[in-house]
Structure 1
Amino acid sequence: MVTITLSGIIYAIVVGLIIGALGRLFARGRQNVSILATILIGMVAAFLGTLIAGWLHVRHTEGIDWIQLIIQVALATLFVSLYAGRGGRRRARI
């Protein structure tokens, strides 16, 4: 059974913000993405990146898990680009 604590929620938000911000930093062009969307994208990218790192057996290494972090940031960059591109096309039609 998974227990959700306030500290776990705060941790997820902080990690989401950091991963999402790094994703925005590496995404090309200007992104019209809100801070809430950045946090949510970062949280999803961090979760999926951790799963992928586990499948590749690189999730638990000594020191900083650089490969896992790179996967998470790459996913965040992809998701930010897709999200920003989707919003830009929607505005262009109006």
Structure 2
Amino acid sequence: MKCVISVLGKDRSGIVAAIATALADCGANIDDISQTILDDIFSMTMLATLDTEKADFNTVQERLAKISDDLGMQIIIQREDVFQYMYKI
């Protein structure tokens, strides 16, 4: 299952490492990643493939929610198909 992960918040060290580690622990693969820092604001978008036999969408979402709380950042995960439908005209 492909997912889009969006991250936004105050820049600090360890953001990418925390998210990448959580995804790896859940058996997910990062297919593409884009990040930028505007002044002191960190923004990142990832496309990841989840291994639903190892961890389902809800499990990954809960894991990212904990990291969101720990880092004080906004982390949103969406199924790619839902993300695509949101932007169809």
Fold match by TM threshold 0.5: no
User: Which bracket does the TM-score occupy, shorter chain normalised?
Assistant: 0.3 to 0.5
- TM-score w.r.t. length of structure 1: 0.33
Structure with greater helix share of residues: 1
TM-score normalised by L of structure 2: 0.34
Q: Report the structure, 1 or 2, having the larger strand content.
A: 2
Structure with higher Rg: it is 1
